[in-house]
Structure 1
């Protein structure tokens, strides 16, 4: 079921989310069309796709905010059609945090914990996990955007949820803040929680996700390990000489090595093939030195997550 290019079967362990045929239609238009979701316990899964691909709608359906037009399965062992049964075990940050500006960080968490009936004794641990210890007494209005996002994630962790859903948690955050949130997501999953995270910053997801779900026009293109996401471009070792004479000598040396070599504007690209790229780079570096070639760059270059996703969704057609 599902219109994907490559769908992983069910995991061997417990599946926190096991949903098939998830669909949402508005009139005749399907914003989510026959999507299968399988999230293993303790995994970090990236939900990827261009604007309008259906990412936020899927998250909203899992959270009971939007009623599916079709689809069946379970979330945390409870039927998808009964979100009230599993929502106490789910934490979420959707479309940015909304807090009281005049309250402190801790005061906001205390308020929302009371509202949801959560045990407030865990708030110090939450503040420590999201890196706001020492600033929990400051008013929310004085927080930077990164701190606000971290407090939003903290609110999602109230009640010690088993499934955490984060929609664009690094939106508008500076590079240092992105690094902090990246580390935080890893810590959240390290405690045994399952994380579903959406972001348009694919380089960020590449650092933290072990699985990805790729959507386009509401349909599923790929679901599975990040390492098995299809690639259309071979991995290469990029080498560049210190000058024209070195480049010419490098070209002659590489031509005699029996390798597949492409000359580019930024140097020479040697296809990695089935060999260990680190060992190949080391061998080529040694051979260049033996030939008196001065190298200014030896770089292992592989297709980025962004490139691979664009290959899947760039045409907008379904496979």
Structure 2
């Protein structure tokens, strides 16, 4: 292999002292530098064993520390998993309770609605009956009116036929009282029919309003419970995402630190192995004068 030129800037005193040492050694500058380098390697080898033992202990310490940190992370992850599992179980129980409550209330509302429909059907039958009675009353009223008309006609005939004024007055008074009684009875029957009709309309309106209020309250209750379940589910998912992100960030930071430390230790071990190989290489032969160490001892 061809030799290469090497140079370095030093002070004049160092340069003069180095030249004198090369001259005294009787070696060329190249041989002198090689000899000097070998002596330096030998000195490094004398202290490398102690340093290597210390480095190995340091590596073992860091590996144990890494192992403990990793085990701590795993145990923390297991604890968080148990905690989230328990929280999810509680939320699931709450959700089931709310759903059961909604179903019970829905069933009760359905029963109330069926009852209201049945009451409405009963009211419709009652109204039909009242209408039938009204028709009968109207028919009876018409009959009474015909009777009154006949009595009035009879009264007219009696007025022409009866000669006695006293008897005529008595018959007219009786017929008038009869007509008034019939008119009052008709008026009473009409008032009774009107009252029944008004009462039926009010009862039907009240039932319809009660049914609408029950349906509206049921729908609002279902909507409120649905929002509560949705909000509870969103809060659980948010907590889980935050905890998972926190664990993942901590894990990545630990892994990054461990990776950096492992790389540093690997480079250090590689450097130690490289120095060991260089120290085991054969020394370069060179001429030496008596009293000058050769580096082969």
Q: Is the pair's TM-score, using the shorter chain for normalization, greater than 0.5? A: no
Instruction: Give the TM-score normalised by the residue count of structure 2.
Output: 0.19
Between structures 1 and 2, the one with greater strand share: 1
Instruction: Give the TM-score normalised by the residue count of structure 1.
Output: 0.18
Larger Cα Rg: Structure 1 or Structure 2?
2
